[in-house]
Amino acid sequence: MPLTRATEQSLPATSLKRKLRLRELVIQAVLFLCGLFSIFVTVGIIYELGKESMLFFGRTQWERTNKPIVAAISANDVQFDVSNIGATASPGEVIRLDDELLMLTAVEGSTYFVERGFRDSVAVPHAAETIIYRGVNPSVWEFLTGTSWAPHAGQFGVLPLLNATLMVSGIAILVALPLGLAAAIYLSEYASPKARNTLKPILEVLAGVPTVVYGYFALTFMTPFLRSIFGQDTVQIYNTASAGIVIGILILPLVSTISEDALNAVPRSLREAAYGLGATRLETAVRIVLPAAFSGIAAAVIIAISRAIGETMVVALAAGAGPAFTFNPFQAAETMTGHIVRISGGDLSYDSLDYNSIFAIGLMLFVMTLALNIFSQYIVRRFREVYE
Amino acid sequence: MTDTAPTATTTAAIETHDLSIYYGSFQAVRDVNLDIQPNRITAIIGPSGCGKSTVLRAFNRMNELIPSVNTTGEVLFRGQNIYKPDVDPVEVRRHIGMVFQKPNPFPKSVYENVAWGARINGFKGNMDELVHSSLQSAALWDEVKDKLDQSGLSLSGGQQQRLCIARAIAVRPDIILMDEPCSALDPIATLRIEELMRDLAKDYTIIIVTHNMQQAARVSDRTAFFSLSEDGKRAGMLMEYGDTKTMFTRPEKKITEDYITGRFG
Amino acid sequence: MAASNLQGRHRLGRVWLVVFQVALVVGIIALCALLFNILNGSFGFVAVEDTVSPESLAVNSVPLEELDKDTLVQILQAHISAGLYARYEFDKPFAERSAGEVYDLILERVVEPRFVAQWSLYETLTNGDAIRQQVAQEFPNARLEFRSWLNSHFLRAPQSSYPEIAGVRTAVLGSLWTISIAVLFAFPVGVAAAVYLQEYAPDNLINRIIQTNINNLAGVPSIIYGILGLAIFVRVLGQFTSGIAFGASDPATANGRTILSAGLTLGVLVLPLIIINAQEAIKAVPNSLRQASFGLGATRWETVWYHVLPNAISGIMTGTILSISRAIGETAPLIVIGASTFIQVDPEGPFSKFTTLPIQIYQWTARPQSVFRNLAGGASLVLLGLLLTMNATAIILRNRYRRSL
Ligand SMILES: Nc1ncnc2c1ncn2[C@@H]1O[C@H](COP(=O)(O)OP(=O)(O)OP(=O)(O)O)[C@@H](O)[C@H]1O
Ligand SMILES: [Mg+2]
C-alpha cells in the first residue's frame, strides 16, 4: 500500500508500544497486597476462632463423680463394684481411673462393666477407693442452652455470660436510644447552625474518651450513685445496671450522630410539604421526618447495640467478675467480654481449657456483632436507594 | 483514506474508522469516520450530549479513566491504531495532549505546572528554557514572568487556561485536544486564547470542541458537525465534515444548516 | 374550636422541644460528671504518716535536706539492707548520684511516708474541717496534706506497689512504644490499601469483597483483635515477636507477650479505620487534577505520587491521628494478649514486656484499696491530656487542609 508507506515517511514513526514499566507493576502489586491484607485479617480471625473453638468442643473434661471403686482391681478386670455415693455414669461414657481411660459398657446395680485401656491408655491396677472421673464433652447445644458456666466443673452453658451481655446492652440502648434520638431531632430540626456547631463537638468529646475511663467512671461514680438512690443492700458493688448506663452514655454520640445524618438526609421538600399543610414543627419532625429517616435510625441503633455487645472495659470493671445467671440488673454478672478479659488476664497457657474457651466465646461475639453490622449495612443500603 | 484532500499535506494526523463508544450498554457515539488534517485547527460542533467530548477523549484514550467505557473501531495516529492491545495509553497521551473545559492547573507553582509534565516524560534539557518558551508560546510569559514561584491557582481564569495550554505544550505533543477551552472564560480572555490557537496551529494540530458557532467559524480550518441519531437511540453521529468556510456558507445537509443558523440545538 | 386545637398543638410542640433539649443537656451533664469524677479522684486531702521522722535523721542538728551527699549516703546505708544498697549501687553507682537523688531515696526508703487515708476533691472542699478533726483523732501522728495525684513525680516515677511513690512512667513509655509500632505498621499499609482501592481497583468481585471486608472489620469488637493477636502474634509468631529469631533472648519475654505483639495488634485494629479515613481523603482530591496529570502522559503511579497523595495527605494525617487516638485508649485487646501486671523498668525496645497507660488505669481501678483509685484518676488525666493533644493536632491539620482546597 503506497499510501501507508507515504504516511510513515512524512511523519516519523514513533513507537506507541507498551513499555515494560517494572516500577509501576511492582508498586501496583504492593498496593494490591496491602489491600488484600484486610482479607488475611478476616481469614485469620475466622480461622483462629473456628479452630480453637473446635478444640474447645472436642476437649474432654474430667468431672469428679465422687464415686470410688470399692475394692482394688487388677489390670485385666473388666467389671468392678462401685460405692453408692456420688454420681453414676451411664453406659457408653468414658470414665477415668487414675491415668487409665475406660469405656463403660454396662451398669448393673453398683457394678460397672468396662473395656480397659481405652483410647491408647494403659490398663493398670487401681487401688480401692480410687475416685471415678467421668469424661464430659461440651456440646454446642449445651454451650448454647446451658445455664451454668463453669468449664472446669464440666458446665459449659454460655447463657449466663450471654444473658449479662444482653442485659448490659439492653440497658445501654434504653439509655442511648431516647437520649440520642431526641438529641438528634433537636440538632437537625430545631437547633440553629451556631448551636449545632457548639453542641455537636461536645457529644463528640464523649465519643473520644477511652472506654477504660468510662469503666473508672462506672465504678467510682455511677455505682455509688445508684447505691445511694436504691440502697446499699439492693445494689451490689458490681452490677449490670451501672455498666449498662455508662455504656449507654458511651454509645450516645454514635446514636445521635448517625441518626442526625439520617434526619438530615430527608429532603427539604418533604418538610416544606408538611409545613405547607399546616403542620407544626413537632408534627413535621415526628410524623414526617422521623418515619422517613426510620431505616437510618434503625441502622444507628443496630450499630450501637453491636458496639455495646463488644464493649469490654466498662463491664470488666463494673459489671462483676464471675458468671451469674440473673435478670436482676443490680446484681453482679459477668458478660462475655468481661469473662474473656478476666481469664486471659493472667499468663494463660496455650491449649488449656480456658484458652480454648475464650475462642469459643469470642467466636460467638464475632458472629453476633458481624451479623448486626451486616444487617445495619443492608438497611443503610436500602435507605440510600430511597433518596439518592 | 479515501477522503484525503489533494493538498501538500496529504496524510491525516488522526483517522478514525467506525469508531463507536459505549458507556456500559449505552452507545454514546456511533460509527465515526473522520480524518484530522495536520497543522490545522479542526472544530467539533454539535448539540449538547451528542458525544463531542467523548469522541475527543477517544483520541488520546482518556475515556479509559471512566470504568464503564468501551470503545470499538480504530483510531489511527501516525498509521498506528492506538487501540491495539500492545499500545500504551501513556505513550499516546504524551503525543496527544489535552486542555480541559475548566482550567485545572496543579496546586503547585507556575513553574512546576509547566515543568512537571516534561520532567516525568524524561526531559533532559534546560528546564528554565523550556518553561520560558512554553509560557511564551502560550502568550503568558509576560504576565507571569515575575510570579513563577506563585501557585498556579493564584492566576486569573484566563491565565490559568493559558497555563494549562503551556503545560500541554511543554511536553512537545503533536496534537492538542481542547474541550470547550473558553467556556469558563470572559470574552477578552476567550479572544486571547483564540489568537493563541491560531499561533499554535503553525506547529501543532489542534482539535477543539466548542459550542460557540462564531468561535468555530473564526478559528477553525475544518469543522465536524455531530448530532444525535434520529432512531430514538440518541447515539452521537458525524453528520457533516468539511472546510469551515464551506460548511458555514453552503452546508450540505439541512440539519447542519439548521444547527448553524440556530434553528435547533 | 380550631383555634384552641392549634393552641394545644403548639403547647405540645413546646413540651417536646423541652424534652429534646433535656436529652442534650443530659448528654452534656454526663460529660461533665465524667470529667468531674476524674478530677474528684485526682486531687484531695491525704493523711500522711512518716515511718521515720525526718527530724530524727538530722545530724548535729543540721536538718536532713541540708546535709551533704556523703552523710546522706551514710544515713541511707545505715537504714536499708545491704542487699538493697548493693542493688542501688548496681543500678547507678552512688558516686554518680547527686545529693538530691540520694535525698529522694532517703525519703522513699527511710522516711517512707505512708498514706493512711485520703479524700476526694469534693469531700476536701466541702468537708475540710471535719476531715481535719477526724485525722487529729484517728491518726495523731499523721499530717494532712492537699495532694495533686497528678504531679511531676507521678509522671517521672515507674510503677510501684506503694501508692505514695507510684507513677506512670513505664506505662506512658509503653503506650508510646506500642502506638509507634502500630503507626509504623498500619499507616503505610493502610494508605497503600486506600490508594489501591481508590485509584487502582477496577470494580470487580474481589475488590468489592475487599471493600466490604474493610467496612466490616471496622465494626469488629476490639477484644476480638486481642484474641487474634494472642493466637497469631503471641503464639504462632512468638519466635519473632519475642525477638528470639533476631537473637534477643530475654527469657522473661520469650513467650511473645511483647511490645511488638501489642503494637502489631493495635496496628491491625486501627488498620480498617485508617483505610476508610484515607479513602475519604483521597476521594476528596478533585478528579480534574488526575485528568490533567494523565493528559500530560503521566502514569498512574506518577499521578498518585505527585498529585493525589500530596493533596490528600493532610486529610490522611487527620484521619490517622483520629484513628490512633482511638488505639491509644484501647485496653481490652492488650489485656488479652497478655500485658504485664507489674513492670518497673522502662521498656527497652520492641521485645520488652509491656504495659500501657489504659492498662495501668484498669489495674489501679480494679484494685480493692481505694487509694489506687486516686492513682487511676491521675493516670486518666494523663491519658486525656495525651488524647487532647493529639486531637488538637488533628483539628489544626484539618483546618489547614480546608483552607488549602
Ligand atoms: N461518564 C459517563 N457515564 C455515562 N454516560 C456518559 C458519561 N459521560 C457522558 N455520558 C453520556 O454520553 C453522551 C455524550 O456525552 P458527551 O459528554 O460526550 O456529550 P457532549 O457532546 O460533550 O455534550 P456537551 O456539549 O454538553 O459537553 C451523553 O448522552 C452523556 O449522557
Ligand atoms: Mg462535552
Nearest CA to ligand 1 atom 31: B49
Classify residue B119: in a domain, yes or no: no
Nearest CA to ligand 1 atom 4: B23
B75: left (phi > 0), else alpha (psi -120 to 50), else beta? beta
ipTM confidence score: 0.90
Q: Which pLDDT belongs to residue A366?
A: 96
Cα–Cα distance for residue pair B131/C260, rounded to 1 Å: 51
CB B66 less than 6 A from any atom of ligand 1: yes
Distance from CA of A48 to the nearest CA of C (A): 7
Are A316 and A352 members of one domain?
A: yes
Are A127 and A261 members of one domain?
A: no
Going from the Cα of B181 to the center of ligand 2, the distance in angstroms, rounded, reads 11
Nearby residues of A172 by Cβ (< 8 Å), 6 or more positions away: A244, A245, A247, A248, A250, A251, A304, A308, A311
Are C141 and C176 members of one domain?
A: no
Are A317 and A245 members of one domain?
A: yes
Give pLDDT tens digits for A60-113. 777 788 888 888 888 888 888 888 888 788 888 888 888 888 888 888 888 899
Going from the Cα of B53 to the center of ligand 2, the distance in angstroms, rounded, reads 4
- φ and ψ at B187, to 5 degrees? -55, -40
What is chain B's length?
265
Classify residue C299: in a domain, yes or no: yes
DSSP structure string for A96-153:
EETTEEEEEEEEETTEEEEESS-TTPPP--B-TTPEEEEEE---HHHHHH-S-EEGGG
Going from the Cα of B28 to the center of ligand 1, the distance in angstroms, rounded, reads 7
Q: Does B122 touch chain C (CB under 8 A)?
A: no
Ligand closest to B179 (CA) is: 2
Best residue in C20, C195, C321, C340 for a mutation probing chain A (most A CBs within 10 Å): C20
Cα–Cα distance for residue pair B97/B170, rounded to 1 Å: 10
Give pLDDT tens digits for B148-204. 999 999 999 999 999 999 999 999 999 999 999 988 888 888 898 899 999 999 899
Give pLDDT tens digits for C28-67. 999 999 999 999 999 999 888 888 887 788 788 788 878 8
Classify residue A359: in a domain, yes or no: yes
Best residue in A16, A18, A22, A28 for a mutation probing chain B (most B CBs within 10 Å): A16
Number of domains observed in the structure of chain A: 3
Classify residue B206: in a domain, yes or no: yes
Helix (H, G, I), strand (E, B) or coil at A36: helix
Q: Does B239 touch chain C (CB under 8 A)?
A: no
Residue in A182, A313, A348 closest to C362 by CB: A313
Q: Which pLDDT belongs to residue A11?
A: 41
Q: Which pLDDT belongs to residue C249?
A: 62
Are C198 and C332 members of one domain?
A: yes
Are C206 and C346 members of one domain?
A: yes
Distance from CA of A315 to the nearest CA of C (A): 11
Classify residue C14: in a domain, yes or no: no
Give pLDDT tens digits for A150-175. 887 778 899 999 999 999 999 999 99
Q: Which pLDDT belongs to residue B99?
A: 94
User: Which residues does residue B87 pair with via DSSP β-bridges, in sequence order?
Assistant: A17
Q: Is the pLDDT of residue C254 over 70?
A: no
Mutation choice for ligand 1 from B19, B20, B21, B23, CB with most ligand atoms inside 8 A:
B23
Measured at the alpha carbon of residue C372, what is the angle toward residues C368 and C377, in degrees to the nearest 5? 125
Q: Which pLDDT belongs to residue C248?
A: 67
Least confident of A181-190, B122-131, B139-148, C83-92: C83-92
Cα–Cα distance for residue pair B205/B174, rounded to 1 Å: 6
Q: Which pLDDT belongs to residue C176?
A: 93
- Identity at C276, one-letter amino acid code: I
Residue with grid cell 481535719, as numbered in its chain: C132
Chain B residues with CB under 8 Å of A10 CB are: 10-11
Cα–Cα distance for residue pair A320/A336, rounded to 1 Å: 11
CA distances from C47 to C114, C122, C162 (A): 8, 16, 15
Are C218 and C80 members of one domain?
A: no
Q: Is the pLDDT of residue A16 over 70?
A: yes
CATH number of the structural domain spanning residue C371: 1.10.3720.10
Cα–Cα distance for residue pair C230/C336, rounded to 1 Å: 7
Q: Does C330 touch chain A (CB under 8 A)?
A: yes
Cα–Cα distance for residue pair B173/B90, rounded to 1 Å: 12
Distance from CA of A359 to the nearest CA of C (A): 7
Contact of A61 with A151, CB cutoff 8 Å: yes
Are A53 and A175 members of one domain?
A: no
Mutation choice for ligand 1 from B54, B70, B226, CB with most ligand atoms inside 8 A:
B54
Going from the Cα of B179 to the center of ligand 2, the distance in angstroms, rounded, reads 7
Q: In this prediction, what percent of chain C has a pLDDT beyond 70?
A: 96
Classify residue A5: in a domain, yes or no: no
Query: What is the dihedral sign for C-alpha B3, B6, B12, B13?
Result: negative
Cα–Cα distance for residue pair C324/C394, rounded to 1 Å: 11
Q: Which pLDDT belongs to residue A187?
A: 92
Classify residue C24: in a domain, yes or no: no
User: Based on the number of CB atoms within 10 Å of its own CB, is A332 exposed (0-12), middle (13-18) or buried (19 or more)?
Assistant: buried
Give pLDDT tens digits for C243-253. 877 776 666 66
Q: Is the pLDDT of residue B2 over 60?
A: no
Classify residue B117: in a domain, yes or no: no
CA distances from B148 to B108, B127, B163, C356 (A): 10, 13, 11, 51
Q: Is the pLDDT of residue B73 over 90?
A: yes
Give pLDDT tens digits for B14-72. 999 999 999 999 999 999 999 999 999 999 999 999 999 999 999 999 999 888 999 99
CB B32 less than 6 A from any atom of ligand 1: no
Q: What is the mean pLDDT of residues A331-356?
A: 87
Q: Is the pLDDT of residue A13 over 60?
A: no
Classify residue C303: in a domain, yes or no: yes
Q: Which pLDDT belongs to residue A89?
A: 81
Q: Which residue has the higher pLDDT, A51 or C241?
A: A51
Domain that holds residue C61: 48-156
B74's grid cell: 480504530
Residue in B62, B91, B107 closest to C295 by CB: B62
Nearby residues of B196 by Cβ (< 8 Å), 6 or more positions away: B138, B139, B162, B165
CB B239 less than 6 A from any atom of ligand 1: no
Q: Of A74, A102, A136, at which residue does a domain stop?
A: A136
Q: Of C122, C156, C190, at which residue does a domain stop?
A: C156
Ligand 1 atom at minimal distance to the Cα of residue B46: 21
- Asked if the Cβ–Cβ distance from B88 to A17 is below 8 Å, we say yes
Measured at the alpha carbon of residue C120, what is the angle toward residues C114 and C123, in degrees to the nearest 5? 120
Q: Which pLDDT belongs to residue B12?
A: 81
Domain that holds residue A33: 23-59
CA count, 13 A, side-chain hemisphere, A51: 11
Q: Is the pLDDT of residue B3 over 50?
A: no
Classify residue C281: in a domain, yes or no: yes
Cα–Cα distance for residue pair C396/B111, rounded to 1 Å: 29
C178's grid cell: 506500642
Edge-to-edge strand ranges of the sheet holding B80-81:
B80-81, B69-77, B14-23, B26-36, B236-243, B222-228, B41-45, B205-209, B175-179, B96-99
Give pLDDT tens digits for A235-247. 999 999 999 999 9
- Asked if the Cβ–Cβ distance from C271 to A41 is below 8 Å, we say yes
Classify residue B50: in a domain, yes or no: yes
User: Which letter, b or e, does each residue of A58-83 get, where b requires 16 or more Cβ atoms within 10 Å of its Cβ?
Assistant: ebbbbbebebbbeeebeeeeeebebe
Q: Which pLDDT belongs to residue C242?
A: 82
Are A247 and A377 members of one domain?
A: yes
Least confident of C7-21, C48-62, C126-140, C271-285: C48-62
- φ and ψ at A355, to 5 degrees? -60, -50
Nearest CA to ligand 1 atom 14: B51
Going from the Cα of A362 to the center of ligand 2, the distance in angstroms, rounded, reads 56
Number of domains observed in the structure of chain C: 2
Q: Which pLDDT belongs to residue C152?
A: 87
Q: Is the pLDDT of residue C196 over 80?
A: yes
Q: Of C98, C125, C156, at which residue does a domain stop?
A: C156
Give pLDDT tens digits for A180-192. 999 999 999 898 9
Nearby residues of A155 by Cβ (< 8 Å), 6 or more positions away: A146, A148, A149
Helices A22-58, C205-217: inter-axial angle, 10-degree rounding: 60
B121's grid cell: 516524560
Q: What is the mean pLDDT of residues C179-187?
A: 96
Are C139 and C260 members of one domain?
A: no
Mutation choice for ligand 1 from B21, B45, B53, B62, CB with most ligand atoms inside 8 A:
B53
Are C301 and C330 members of one domain?
A: yes
Spell out which residues have Cβ within 5 A of ligand 2, the ion: B 53
Q: Does B245 touch chain A (CB under 8 A)?
A: no
Q: Is the pLDDT of residue C70 over 50?
A: yes
CATH number of the structural domain spanning residue A91: 2.40.30
Are C82 and C178 members of one domain?
A: no
Q: In this prediction, what percent of chain B has a pLDDT beyond 70?
A: 95
**A250 closest CA partner among A220, A299, A200, A213:** A213
CB B21 less than 6 A from any atom of ligand 1: no
Number of domains observed in the structure of chain B: 1
A334: left (phi > 0), else alpha (psi -120 to 50), else beta? beta
- Asked if the Cβ–Cβ distance from A179 to C27 is below 8 Å, we say yes
Nearest CA to ligand 1 atom 26: B48
Cα–Cα distance for residue pair B24/B2, rounded to 1 Å: 32
pLDDT class of B7 with cuts at 50, 70, 90: very low
CB B56 less than 6 A from any atom of ligand 1: no
In the complex, which subunits touch B with 3 or more CB pairs below 8 angstroms? A, C
CB B110 less than 6 A from any atom of ligand 1: no
DSSP structure string for C263-309:
HHHHHHHHHHHHHHHHHHHHHTS-HHHHHHHHHTT--HHHHIIIIIH
Cα–Cα distance for residue pair C343/C174, rounded to 1 Å: 10
Q: Which pLDDT belongs to residue A5?
A: 33
Helix (H, G, I), strand (E, B) or coil at C90: helix
Cα–Cα distance for residue pair A173/A255, rounded to 1 Å: 9
Total Cβ atoms within 10 A of residue A201: 11
Classify residue B146: in a domain, yes or no: no
Classify residue A179: in a domain, yes or no: yes
Task: Provide the number of CB pairs (under 8 Å) joining chain A to chain C.
Answer: 255
CATH number of the structural domain spanning residue A289: 1.10.3720.10
- Asked if the Cβ–Cβ distance from B88 to A11 is below 8 Å, we say no
- φ and ψ at C353, to 5 degrees? -65, 160
Least confident of A158-162, B11-15, B97-101: B11-15
Are A358 and A221 members of one domain?
A: yes
- Asked if the Cβ–Cβ distance from C292 to B100 is below 8 Å, we say yes
Give pLDDT tens digits for C109-137. 888 888 888 899 999 999 888 988 888 88
Are C98 and C152 members of one domain?
A: yes
CATH number of the structural domain spanning residue B188: 3.40.50.300
Mean pLDDT of chain B: 89
Classify residue B160: in a domain, yes or no: no
Mutation choice for ligand 1 from B25, B45, B50, B213, CB with most ligand atoms inside 8 A:
B50
Nearby residues of C146 by Cβ (< 8 Å), 6 or more positions away: C43, C44, C45, C124
Q: Which pLDDT belongs to residue A176?
A: 95
CA distances from C303 to A91, B54, C175 (A): 74, 22, 37
Q: Which pLDDT belongs to residue A1?
A: 33
Are C258 and C370 members of one domain?
A: yes
Chain C residues with CB under 8 Å of B65 CB are: 290-291, 294
Going from the Cα of B222 to the center of ligand 1, the distance in angstroms, rounded, reads 23
Classify residue C261: in a domain, yes or no: yes
User: Which residues does residue C147 pair with via DSSP β-bridges, in sequence order?
Assistant: C44
Cα–Cα distance for residue pair C262/C173, rounded to 1 Å: 13
User: Which letter, b or e, does each residue of B205-239 get, where b requires 16 or more Cβ atoms within 10 Å of its Cβ?
Assistant: bbbbbbebbebbbbbbebbbbbbbeeeeeebbbbb
Are A46 and A79 members of one domain?
A: no
Cα–Cα distance for residue pair A92/A134, rounded to 1 Å: 11
Domain that holds residue B225: 14-104+175-260
Q: Which pLDDT belongs to residue A385?
A: 52
CB B53 less than 6 A from any atom of ligand 1: yes
Q: Is the pLDDT of residue C304 over 90?
A: yes
Cα–Cα distance for residue pair C279/C256, rounded to 1 Å: 33
Q: Which pLDDT belongs to residue A120?
A: 81
Classify residue A142: in a domain, yes or no: no
Q: Of all helices (H) and strands (E), which one includes residue C114?
A: strand C113-118
